[in-house]
């Protein structure tokens, strides 16, 4: 375990910043670890330095190649491509695959997020400049791992994790369980946890396997904030605030002045207001009317979104999935589709009109509580969303297009690896009798494993990074030490497994 803690790299995360600082202090005070923090900009580095006194980090390093402010105009095409191919060979996947979750260079991989704001990076870069930026990104991280001897990477994305794995380092990410406000340590960048899986397979249910019918804390915060955006007064306030922010960015020399385009952000704010009204009432089905029908439920995902694309890099085509499910549904069963609050305004112009072309698809009023829709569904469809988790722990059948979900461990979750599986999975979910006692036992073991490997992040949310307490940070540290101890007992060998094309869970083999 001590080997993994000698040199630690933490990738800065705005929401997790207070937790990251606490964790760095614990690692340094108790193990003498060298801890390095990596940020995307000088402004972010300055902010972090100003919030810490003293700093627990040995150094704060800026990686300007994450999303460059400027691009070289003279590039050797053959040299850039050759270098990219070297990295693809080293990491076992294409540069394009790494870009799937990139909101700037990877916009094209988010067809259901076409109206996400455009940026200087997305609009001002060529294909060759994109490759060159990724080459520079990997070169910096390769240099850091080689020169500093980094053995533990915390909060890294797929790109950083690929470098870490190539150097034999441990990769962990604090991630939401989608259950209350509990977090756990993922053991890869796809949000899976081998520790939870092991405890589920080997363990038994404890007394602490209960759950309440409440929306996860962070999701509740997002829903309440987003629902306010439908008011005209809030629309005007948000437009003016965004203009004010951009004026400040330019006057202060902030890197944000060269990030998202103001006109694109203003368009999205207006679209959010307009589309929210479109998805409220009218021809959108209410929960009261929906309850009279037999239905399967699909809760939309935001695009582009790191959590969505990171957890399901093999398949992330929402419209195709909806059409495939609608195609294979038996007579008398409809598909209820509900928009995710933070995604309102980001879809292509005719997206909802195209959904309404499907006779057996109903769009649910966006104001209806998603958990209530889940609890009345005959089955739930998901990629990597909260709705799938909510259904699974209630014994409701789930068809999962995401191959790395923790819920894939459960017997009533069916993982799609091929289009031909959809029809038989629907038949099984909608018609076959299930041993409810067995499912209840599996769910109890699953929730127990989640709780045993989770720590409460209190009131932590995207708009409240200070919401985590010192006690919670201590709990997170303790669980990280437990996981590293397991690795140490297993001869100190960290094996991530077949993460590129593999799947997690019993149904995905």
Q: Which residues contact 189 (CB under 8 A, 6 or more apart)?
A: 156, 157, 158, 161, 171, 173, 310, 499
Where in the sequence is the domain holding 101, given as residue range(s)?
Answer: 77-131
Spans of the chain, pLDDT less than 70: 1-2, 205-227, 229, 490-509
Confidence (pLDDT) at 38: 97
Do the domain assignments include residue 256? no
Distance, in Å, from the CA atom of 24 to the CA atom of 28, rounded to the nearest integer, reads: 6
Percentages helix, strand, coil for the chain (3-state, rounded to 5) are 50, 15, 35
In a domain, 463, yes or no: yes
Pick the closest to residue 226 from 161, 298, 280 (CA basis). 280
Query: What is the reported pTM?
Result: 0.90
Same domain, 64 and 160: yes
Within 8 A by CB and 6+ apart from 330, the residues are: 426, 427, 430
335: phi then psi, degrees, rounded to nearest 5? -110, 120
164 in the same domain as 50: yes
* Residue 257, in any domain of the structure: no
Do 61 and 173 lie in a common domain? yes
**CB 195 within 8 Å of CB 185:** yes
Distance CA 241, CA 10 (A): 32
d(CA 204, CA 369): 33
* pLDDT given for residue 493 in this prediction: 43
Tens of pLDDT along 459-484? 888 788 899 999 999 999 999 999 99
Query: Looking at residue 227, what is its pLDDT?
Result: 66
Q: Is residue 386 part of a domain?
A: no
3-class secondary-structure state, position 134: helix
Residue pair 390/379 in contact by the 8 Å Cβ criterion = no
Classify strands 182-186 and 170-176 as parallel, antiparallel or unpaired.
antiparallel
Is 104 a domain residue?
yes
- The Cα–Cα gap between 391 and 400 comes to 11
| 117 shares a domain with 84 | yes
As a whole number of angstroms, the distance between CA 508 and CA 407 comes to 12
| 14 falls within a domain | yes
* The pLDDT of residue 496: 39
With CA atoms as reference, report the closest residue to 275 among 332, 219, 340.
340
Residues in CB range of 424: below 8 A, 6 or more apart:
none
Domain membership flag for residue 424: no
Is 315 domain-assigned?
Answer: no
Residues facing residue 184 across a β-bridge: 175, 454
Sheet holding 294-299, edge to edge: 361-364, 333-338, 294-299, 379-382, 398-400, 413-415
Q: Are residues 52 and 168 in the same domain?
A: yes
461 DSSP assignment: B
pLDDT digit string (tens) for 35-93? 999 998 888 899 999 988 889 999 999 998 888 888 999 999 999 999 999 999 999 99
- Tell me the CA end-to-end span of the chain in Å, nearest whole number: 31
Q: What burial class does residue 80 get, using C-beta atoms within 10 Å of its C-beta: 0-12 exposed, 13-18 middle, 19+ buried?
A: buried
Same domain, 19 and 56: yes
Q: Which CATH number belongs to the domain containing residue 484 in this structure?
A: 3.40.50
In a shared domain, residues 52 and 165:
yes
| Number of domains present in the structure of the chain | 2
Cα separation, 282 vs 280, whole angstroms: 7
Do 87 and 126 belong together in one domain?
Answer: yes
Indicate whether 160 and 61 sit together in one domain. yes
């Amino acid at each position: 375990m001590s080997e993994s803690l000698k040199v630690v790299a933490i990738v800065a995360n705005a929401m997790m910043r207070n937790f990251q600082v606490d964790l760095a202090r614990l690692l340094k005070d108790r193990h003498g670890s060298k801890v390095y923090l990596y940020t995307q900009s000088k402004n972010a580095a300055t902010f972090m330095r100003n919030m810490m006194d003293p700093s627990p980090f040995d150094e704060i390093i800026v990686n300007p190649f994450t999303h460059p402010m400027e691009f070289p105009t003279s590039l050797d095409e053959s040299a850039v491509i050759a270098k990219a191919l070297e990295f693809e060979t080293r990491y076992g996947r294409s540069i394009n695959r790494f870009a799937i979750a990139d909101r700037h260079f990877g916009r094209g991989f988010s067809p259901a997020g076409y109206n996400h704001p455009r940026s200087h990076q997305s609009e001002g870069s060529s294909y060759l400049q994109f490759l060159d930026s990724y080459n520079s990104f990997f070169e910096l991280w390769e240099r850091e791992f080689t020169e500093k001897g980094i053995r533990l990477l915390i909060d890294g994305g797929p790109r950083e994790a690929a470098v870490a794995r190539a150097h034999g380092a441990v990769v962990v990410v604090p991630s939401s369980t989608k259950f209350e406000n509990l977090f756990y340590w993922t053991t890869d960048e796809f949000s899976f946890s081998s520790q939870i899986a092991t405890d589920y397979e080997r363990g038994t249910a404890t007394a602490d396997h209960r759950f309440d019918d409440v929306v996860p804390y962070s999701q509740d915060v997002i829903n309440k904030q987003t629902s306010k955006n439908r008011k005209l007064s809030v629309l005007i306030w948000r437009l003016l605030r965004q203009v004010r922010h951009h004026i400040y960015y330019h006057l202060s020399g902030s890197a944000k002045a060269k990030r998202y385009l103001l006109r694109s952000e203003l368009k999205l704010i207006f679209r959010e207001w307009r589309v929210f009204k479109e998805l409220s009432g009218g021809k959108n089905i209410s929960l009261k009317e929906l309850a009279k029908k037999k239905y399967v439920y699909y809760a939309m995902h935001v695009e582009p979104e790191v959590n969505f694309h990171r957890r399901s890099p093999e398949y992330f085509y929402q419209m195709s999935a909806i059409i495939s499910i609608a195609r294979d549904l038996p007579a008398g069963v409809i598909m209820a589709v509900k928009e995710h609050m933070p995604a309102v305004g980001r879809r292509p112009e005719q997206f909802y009109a195209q959904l309404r072309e499907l006779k057996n698809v109903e769009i649910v009023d966006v104001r209806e509580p998603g958990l209530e829709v889940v609890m009345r569904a005959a089955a739930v469809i998901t990629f990597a969303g909260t709705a799938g988790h909510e259904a699974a722990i209630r014994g409701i059948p789930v068809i999962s297009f995401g191959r790395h979900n923790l819920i894939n461990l459960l017997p009533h979750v069916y993982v799609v690896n091929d289009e031909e599986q959809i029809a038989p999975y629907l038949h099984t979910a909608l018609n076959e009798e299930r041993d409810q006692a067995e499912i209840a036992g599996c769910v109890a073991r699953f929730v127990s494993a989640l709780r045993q490997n989770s720590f409460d992040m209190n009131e932590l949310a995207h708009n409240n990074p200070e919401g985590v307490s010192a006690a919670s940070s201590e709990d997170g540290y303790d669980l990280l030490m437990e996981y590293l101890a397991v690795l140490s007992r297993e001869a100190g060998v960290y094996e991530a497994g077949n993460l590129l094309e593999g799947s997690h869970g019993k149904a995905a083999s």
